């Protein structure tokens, strides 16, 4: 008999985790933007080159990291956001898995610059494929900049699997929009190959929606506001006559986190009932606030799916709230309308 099991070295474990967390450049964008938000940034810049294949950089004015934390942040399961298992059911941050930076650094060239307030000097760290290349003390502004270069440079199969620049950019824009919609008071800018894609000033939700989807959206919005014992619902749906033939402008946020949920989506579309003709989808921006202990976010590494305690009740409340709000806006049933 011989023993054959061994523990994988960290860099191999990181690369395996990266396979789940980082599907494409847009996944890196999501993780870096969420870290900037968790650091209480009020101004966030996103720079990409070649659809993120060459460069993804996020610069924030958040609280920054100490020298020790800067190095630790790239270790797996290293997080400042939870301490014990119970914290998983009382989450107030986007992150908690402590996996993103370790995963990203396993499959790219990463340069971090960070400085905390009330310190003169900051830290610069370079990591390539989980190995530390350099760590220096530098002069820099308060906040954090993380540049991720040459994503998947050491996983050719993944790199070759990436789609065209147009498609990868589309995914990045989608992630950016979701985060920017969830945080209208934060100002965001976004540049691709040095040209400006978005420049969003601090505002409220309505203004943010208009800044992202265009001026014409303003007149189309029906406000939704409801408070019950189990959920608070806020946001907007668009009037039925502005429904579109394409999916993709349906935004659900639960406790300010973008999620996908076919069941709740059905609650919204069914509230429109006869107001929509076949094949048309309403645009909506709905924010559900529920007690943190009534949801489980930890069912998928990318955290876009969550489990609710009582999805059926949410469905019913959502549907009736939207029906009621649409009714108040006095929209007469239209079965077939010109567009």
Give yes or no for residue 100 binding Mg ion (CB under 5 A): yes
Site for ligand ADP in 47-66 (CB under 6 A): 60, 62-65
Q: 149 or 323, CB closer to ligand ADP?
A: 149
User: Sign (positive/negative) of CA torsion 317, 318, 323, 328?
Assistant: positive
How many CB atoms sit inside 10 A of residue 96's CB? 18
Nearer of residues 96 and 252 to ligand ADP, judged by Cβ: 96
Q: Is 35 in the site for Mg ion (CB under 5 A)?
A: yes
Closest distance of CB 321 from Mg ion, Å: 32
* Pair 326, 237: CB distance under 8 Å: yes
* Shorter beta-carbon distance to ligand ADP: residue 63 or 159: 63
State both tokens at 217: 């959206």
Q: Which one of ligand ADP, Mg ion, none is in contact with 175 (Cβ closer than 5 to 8 A by kind)?
A: none
* Strand-strand pairing, 232-238 and 122-128: unpaired
DSSP string computed for 261-300: -HHHHHHHHHHHGGGS-TT-B--EEEEEE--GGGEE-TTS
| Strand 250-254 versus strand 295-296 pairing type | unpaired
Residue spans of beta strands (DSSP E) within 29-121: 43-49, 55-60, 109-115
Question: Could you say which of 18, 29, 36, 295 contacts ligand ADP (CB under 6 A)?
Answer: 36
57 contacts which partner out of Mg ion, ligand ADP, none, CB within 5 to 8 A by kind? none
Strands 109-115 and 122-128: antiparallel
Tokens 């994988």 locate to 8
Task: Pick between residue 132 and residue 167 the one whose CB is nearest to ligand ADP.
Answer: 132
Residue nearest to Mg ion (CB): 95
Where does residue 248 rank: exposed (0-12), middle (13-18), buried (19+ CB within 10 A)? exposed
| Binding at 39: pick from Mg ion, ligand ADP, none (beta carbon under 5-8 Å per type) | ligand ADP
Q: How far is the CB of 191 from ligand ADP (least distance, A)?
A: 18
Q: Which stretch binds Mg ion (CB under 5 A): 2-10, 97-105, 134-142, 209-217?
A: 97-105
* Mask for 98-137, x = binds ligand ADP (CB under 6 A): xxxxx-----------------------------------
Contacts 24+ apart (CB under 8 A), 121-127: 122/64, 123/65, 123/66, 123/67, 123/70, 123/71, 125/70, 125/71, 125/74, 127/74
- What are the φ/ψ torsions at residue 308 (nearest 5 degrees)? -100, 150
Residues 6+ apart with CB under 8 A from 38: 62, 81, 93, 94, 95
Q: Which is nearer to ligand ADP, 187 or 265 (CB)?
A: 187
- Residue 88 contacts ligand ADP per CB under 6 A: no
* Among residues 95, 184, 282, 301, the one that binds Mg ion under rule CB under 5 A: 95
Report the site for ligand ADP in 134-163 (rule: CB under 6 A).
144
Nearer to ligand ADP, 22 or 271 (CB): 22
Segment contacting ligand ADP by CB under 6 A, of 28-36, 161-169, 198-206, 270-278: 28-36
73 or 321: CB nearest ligand ADP: 73
Residues in contact with Mg ion by CB under 5 A are 35, 95, 100
Residues in contact with ligand ADP by CB under 6 A are 31, 35-36, 38-39, 60, 62-65, 73, 78-81, 95-102, 144
């Amino acid at each position: 008999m011989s023993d054959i099991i061994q523990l994988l070295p960290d860099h191999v474990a990181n690369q395996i985790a990266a396979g789940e967390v980082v599907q494409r450049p847009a996944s890196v964008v999501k993780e870096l933007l969420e870290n900037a938000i968790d650091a209480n940034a009020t101004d966030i810049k996103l720079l990409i080159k070649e659809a993120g294949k060459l460069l993804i950089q996020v610069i924030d004015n958040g609280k920054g990291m100490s020298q020790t934390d800067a190095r630790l942040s790239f270790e797996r399961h290293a997080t400042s956001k939870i301490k014990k298992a119970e914290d998983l059911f009382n989450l107030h941050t986007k992150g908690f898995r402590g996996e993103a930076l370790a995963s990203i650094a396993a499959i790219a060239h990463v340069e971090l610059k960070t400085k905390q307030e009330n310190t003169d000097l900051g830290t610069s760290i370079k990591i390539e494929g989980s190995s530390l290349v350099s760590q220096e003390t530098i002069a820099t502004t308060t906040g954090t900049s993380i540049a991720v270069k040459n994503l998947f440079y050491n996983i050719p199969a993944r790199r070759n699997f990436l789609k065209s620049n147009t498609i990868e950019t589309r995914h990045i824009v989608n992630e950016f929009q979701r985060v920017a919609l969830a945080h209208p008071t934060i100002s965001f800018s976004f540049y691709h190959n040095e040209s400006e894609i978005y420049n969003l000033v601090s505002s409220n939700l309505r203004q943010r929606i208009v800044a992202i989807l265009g001026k014409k959206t303003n007149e189309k919005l029906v406000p939704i506001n409801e408070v019950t014992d189990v959920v608070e619902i806020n946001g907007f749906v668009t009037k039925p006559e502005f429904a579109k033939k394409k999916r993709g402008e349906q935004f659900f946020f639960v406790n300010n986190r973008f999620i996908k949920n076919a069941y709740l989506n059905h609650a919204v579309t069914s509230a429109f009932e006869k107001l929509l003709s076949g094949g048309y989808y309403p645009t909506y921006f709905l924010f559900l606030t529920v007690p943190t202990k009534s949801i489980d976010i930890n069912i998928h590494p990318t955290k876009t799916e969550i489990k609710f305690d009582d999805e059926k009740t949410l469905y019913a409340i959502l549907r009736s709230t939207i029906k009621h709000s649409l009714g108040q806006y006095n929209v007469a049933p239209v079965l077939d309308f010109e567009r």
